[in-house]
Amino acid sequence: MNMIVAVDRNWGIGRNNDLLASIPGDMKYFKDHTLGKVVVMGRKTLESMPGGKGLPKRSNIVLTSNKNLSADRCTIVNSEDEMFSEISKYNSEDVYLIGGASMYNRYYSLCDKLYITKIDADLDADSFIINIDEDEGYKIISQSEPMTENGISYSFLVYEKINIKDCNEEQ
């Protein structure tokens, strides 16, 4: 499984159940990675989508405790076991965790790659994820040059889970 998210300097990801900023380059990056793939999200993230519908041209899996929830283009699961059972039907490289904060914080450590757009600003977020730079279980394997859109500077970073075997070989 992978994770994809945009974060500000403080690892903020959203405000009032919405994105922190409109960055067309980041939206294209997200679409390029997830189109035709599987996206996994929580209920609040689904509710933040246009019309409260799953993303088009993707398999949408939504984890919620609400057993009555239904949404267009979505497979609704009501437990971790159901979620993992549904995810197991796909190639793990094609599965992307897309939010929100509780989903990221709970499941990021199960992801092999983290696609993180780092926004060089404090955008007054009210929703945050763990600072991946402080997690020794991941290393940066690529970083784009900084770009600027709508007055916001950002870069794309890819983190990869460090294989324990690799760590032992380096010592």
pLDDT for 104-113, tens place per residue?
Answer: 999 999 999 9
Q: What is the per-residue pLDDT across 41-86, written as a single tens digit (0 to 9) for each?
A: 999 999 999 999 999 999 999 999 999 999 999 999 999 999 999 9
d(CA 111, CA 164): 15
Q: How confident is the model at residue 164 (pLDDT cuts 50, 70, 90)?
A: low
Judged by phi (left if over 0) then psi (alpha if -120 to 50, else beta), residue 51 lies in left
Residue range 116-143: mean pLDDT, rounded: 97
Q: Where are the domains of the chain?
A: 2-170
Fold of 2-170: Dihydrofolate Reductase, subunit A (3.40.430)
Q: What is the pTM of this model?
A: 0.93
In the predicted model, what is the mean pLDDT of the chain? 94
Bigger pLDDT: 165 or 78? 78
